[in-house]
Amino acid sequence: MTPTLTPPATQHQIEAFPNGSFSVRNTELNECMHSTIGPWVEAQEIYLAQSNLLHCLATASQVPHAAPWVIYDVGLGIAANSLAVLEHLGQSQTASASPWIDRVSPQIEMMSFETDLDGIKRALQRPELFPFLERNQEIVKTLLEQGVWTGQLASGIHFHWELKLGDFRTQLAQCPKADLIFFDLYSPKSLPELWSYQTFQLLAEKCHQPKNSLDLRETTLITYSASTAVRAALLLNGFYVGKGKSTAGKKETTLANTRKTSLANPLSKDWLDHWQRSSQPLPRDLAEPFNPEEKEQISSKLSAIIRDQALSS
Ligand SMILES: C[S@@+](CC[C@H](N)C(=O)[O-])C[C@H]1O[C@@H](n2cnc3c(N)ncnc32)[C@H](O)[C@@H]1O
């Protein structure tokens, strides 16, 4: 199916960072798609390294005839995160380090959500500035033109990559459950409605909800944001939430999981104290109307969740 989209609503320009990398700036929001570490380092450090991808895939693949392993790439941007996954899974070292791949022939479905292809089209006009795009130009062009790219990677993994054009909140209804979610949209400050309680509620409905430790499917959500309101929205929607690693550009990132025991660094009492003091403790769709009594109720709920998380750490 050829993707269609209303004409680009925004303009994008290429921006050089001091470390020699390049990103794309949305001039309407006046925000770059990436932090100053650059798209590829960000993709590797925040998203790929923290996803524990092969381990999770190996675990889920233990079930005979397991359904494809599904990644939501929210939003596609200039495809740094998605290409980091594709390249990592395609490497021949991946195959030699993971002999189980040969045995189970795992299948990956990656859904990349995007409302505006202007940014990636702009980057593709200067591929030499974006080596990850340059190396994978043919694949990316097929994805943009046909809405899908399917191939068998050198590692033996079957990879099906789909472009979901339009607001991901409306696209989710037709998508299978996710095993891994990269939540990488413009900042909560610029687009608070995309980081709302309701948004994470929609995502929570598309996650595996392991009932016991023998369930092999769980869902991990990774985002660069460490916002108090975003973490509260995730917790109140049933995710267990922990601190993710810091990068050159960020003191902390956020990892959420549907399985309590999968969090390496769960939020603890310190975070709750911080939440109490925060001037923006909740996403906007919960914050209004917001009176002391409601705050007390939410505070008790969060305390119980944080206590529960701490018990398994
Ligand atoms: C920060 S950039 C993503 C960077 C990207 N992950 C990468 O690896 O290059 C955010 C992207 O999300 C897209 N976006 C914004 N709102 C969206 C929505 N409601 N649904 C899907 N994509 C959206 C933007 O157009 C933009 O390209």
The reply to whether 90 falls in a domain is: yes
Are 77 and 136 spatial neighbours (Cβ–Cβ below 8 Å)?
no
Q: Are 25 and 13 in contact (CB under 8 A)?
A: yes
Rg (the chain; Cα; Å) = 19
Q: Is residue 5 part of a domain?
A: no
pLDDT recorded at residue 10: 64
**pTM for the model:** 0.95
C-alpha 259 – ligand 1 centre gap (Å): 27
Cα(19) to ligand 1 centroid in Å equals 23
Q: What's the CA-to-centroid distance between 106 and ligand 1, angstroms?
A: 27
More confident residue, 216 or 127: 127
**pLDDT score recorded for residue 295:** 83
- Strand duo 220-223 + 180-183: pairing: parallel
| Whole-number pLDDT of residue 105 | 83
State which amino acid sits at residue 65: H
- Position 312 confidence tier, pLDDT thresholds 50, 70, 90: low
pLDDT tens digit string along 64-100?
888 999 999 999 999 999 999 999 999 877 777 788 8
pLDDT of residue 296: 87
Determine, yes or no, domain membership for 94: yes
Which residue is associated with the tokens 């397991």? 66
CA of 61 from ligand 1 middle (Å) equals 30
How many other C-beta atoms lie within 10 A of the C-beta of residue 310?
14
Q: Is 90 exceeded by the pLDDT of residue 212? A: no
Is 311 part of any domain?
no
CA distance 9 to 241: 34
191 CA: nearest ligand 1 atom: 16
Q: What's the structural domain count of the chain?
A: 1
CATH no. for residue 142?
3.40.50.150
Within a domain: 285: no
CA-to-CA distance for 105 and 118, rounded, in angstroms?
36
End-to-end CA distance of the chain: 46
Q: Is residue 4 part of a domain?
A: no
pLDDT tens for each residue of 8-52: 556 999 999 999 999 999 999 999 999 999 999 999 999 999 999
Q: Is the pLDDT of residue 2 over 70?
A: no
Ligand 1 binding pocket (C-beta < 6 A) is: 33, 39, 43, 75, 77-81, 113-116, 119, 167-168, 184-186, 194
Does 277 map to a domain? Answer: no
* pLDDT at residue number 6: 54
Domain region containing 66: 12-266
- Is 309 a member of any domain? no
